[in-house]
């Protein structure tokens, strides 16, 4: 009996189960956190996971389980052409957004606070207008009797109206205008964090402004460049309203193919299969980019 009492009073002896107040407090805290997070989990389950699971299940259905929808995507040229058009337009829009957005973000990052605020305000103001309204505005501006063609003819730069709408060019112009802020804002956020002392140090060592920019500023801004490229490209892949209006039925993108499979042919399985393939493409893009830059940098949480 004395031996057991001595063992229980030893410093290294284990306490009975549930006797540690710190352990009970941790378990209670974990249970409370799980209880508080359960509404968010239910929302994610109901609004994301369940529809996504239904989409995948529907893509394998046609009077029973089948792979015909995926075989059709691989076999029919219309699907290949649509995906090629979508990726081509997305690539052109992304590169154009980088060429226009990088100087704009650089000007905002290097300007005094008030001037930078004005530049960013001009970039953000289009967000207050509906995408549909902006697409219709570009449709009016670029049509054969619109302001752009009238101005070109008035300046003698064109003898006849140019075909600026109902084609890929009109789609690219309108899409670029809508997605440009998604390039500028990540670039500006990254550029603003670059210490100015590094640029001054490069200049004090004899580097010319262009050399300092190329060797110091540009490499440090590459995470913002990659984040902007990813955001614009992925968002452009799923565009629907703008290509539908500006393309005039001649420029078919993946989102329009999904819509037509449902509206014209009532083929929910085919539309679901196309959506799943596009979703996989987006996932692969994020996976590849995530190896270079953390996803938190892309979505703006870091």
Determine, yes or no, domain membership for 179. yes
Q: Please tell me the predicted confidence (pLDDT) of residue 249.
A: 82
- For the residues 59-70, what does the mean pLDDT come to? 89
Percent of the chain exceeding pLDDT 70 equals: 91
Determine, yes or no, domain membership for 133. yes
Q: Please tell me the predicted confidence (pLDDT) of residue 9.
A: 47
Determine, yes or no, domain membership for 146. yes
pLDDT band at 298 (very low <50, low <70, confident <90, very high): low
Is 132 in a helix, a strand, or coil?
Answer: helix
pLDDT in tens, 91-147: 999 999 999 999 999 999 988 989 999 999 998 888 888 888 999 999 999 998 888
Determine, yes or no, domain membership for 135. yes
- For the residues 26-35, what does the mean pLDDT come to? 89
Determine, yes or no, domain membership for 27. no
Q: Please tell me the predicted confidence (pLDDT) of residue 210.
A: 86
pLDDT in tens, 148-186: 999 988 888 888 888 889 999 999 999 999 999 999 999
Q: Give the total number of structural domains in the chain.
A: 1
CA distance 260 to 269: 12
Q: Please tell me the predicted confidence (pLDDT) of residue 302.
A: 54
Q: Both tokens of residue 121?
A: 């305000």
User: Mean pLDDT across the chain, nearest whole number?
Assistant: 86
pLDDT in tens, 174-226: 999 999 999 999 999 999 988 888 888 888 888 788 888 888 899 999 989 99
Determine, yes or no, domain membership for 55. no
Q: What is the CATH number of the domain that holds 127?
A: 1.10.3720.10
Q: Please tell me the predicted confidence (pLDDT) of residue 6.
A: 46
Determine, yes or no, domain membership for 210. yes
Q: Is the pLDDT of residue 7 over 50?
A: no
pLDDT band at 2 (very low <50, low <70, confident <90, very high): very low
CA distance 10 to 14: 9
* CA–CA distances in Å: residue 212 to residues 46, 112, 162, 188: 51, 20, 42, 19
Q: Please tell me the predicted confidence (pLDDT) of residue 184.
A: 94
CA distance 99 to 96: 5
Q: Both tokens of residue 26?
A: 């941790």
Determine, yes or no, domain membership for 217. yes
Q: Please tell me the predicted confidence (pLDDT) of residue 301.
A: 44
More confident residue, 6 or 75: 75
Q: Please tell me the predicted confidence (pLDDT) of residue 282.
A: 93
* CA–CA distances in Å: residue 198 to residues 188, 203, 212, 215, 239: 17, 9, 9, 11, 40
- For the residues 69-85, what does the mean pLDDT come to? 93
Residue span of the structural domain in which 290 resides: 68-299
- For the residues 41-63, what does the mean pLDDT come to? 91
| Residue 298: CB atoms within 10 Å | 22
pLDDT in tens, 9-20: 444 445 455 557
| Residue 295: CB atoms within 10 Å | 14
Q: Is the pLDDT of residue 70 over 70?
A: yes
């Amino acid at each position: 009996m004395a031996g057991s009492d001595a063992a229980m009073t030893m410093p290294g002896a284990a306490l009975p189960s549930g006797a540690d107040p710190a352990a009970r407090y941790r378990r209670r805290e974990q249970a409370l956190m799980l209880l508080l997070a359960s509404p968010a989990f239910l929302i994610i389950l109901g609004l994301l996971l369940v529809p996504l699971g239904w989409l995948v299940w529907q893509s394998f259905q046609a009077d029973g389980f089948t792979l015909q929808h995926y075989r059709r995507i691989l076999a029919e040229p219309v699907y290949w052409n649509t995906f090629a058009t979508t990726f081509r337009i997305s690539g052109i829009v992304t590169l154009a957004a980088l060429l226009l957005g990088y100087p704009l973000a650089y000007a905002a990052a290097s300007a005094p606070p008030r001037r930078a605020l004005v530049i960013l305000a001009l970039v953000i103001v289009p967000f207050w207008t509906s995408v549909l309204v902006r697409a219709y505005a570009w449709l009016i501006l670029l049509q054969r009797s619109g302001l752009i063609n009238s101005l070109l003819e008035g300046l003698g730069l064109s003898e006849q109206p140019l075909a600026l709408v109902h084609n890929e060019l009109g789609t690219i112009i309108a899409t670029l205008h809508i997605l440009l802020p998604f390039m500028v804002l990540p670039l500006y956020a990254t550029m603003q964090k670059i210490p100015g002392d590094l640029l001054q140090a490069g200049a004090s060592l004899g580097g010319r402004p262009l050399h300092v920019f190329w060797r110091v500023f540009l490499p440090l801004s590459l995470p913002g460049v990659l984040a902007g490229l990813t955001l614009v490209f992925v968002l452009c892949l799923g565009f629907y309203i703008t290509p539908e209006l500006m393309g005039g039925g001649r420029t078919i993108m993946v989102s329009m193919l999904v819509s037509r499979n449902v509206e014209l042919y009532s083929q929910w399985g085919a539309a679901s299969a196309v959506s799943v393939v596009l979703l996989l493409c987006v996932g692969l893009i994020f996976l590849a980019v995530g190896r270079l830059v953390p996803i938190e940098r892309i979505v703006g949480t870091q």
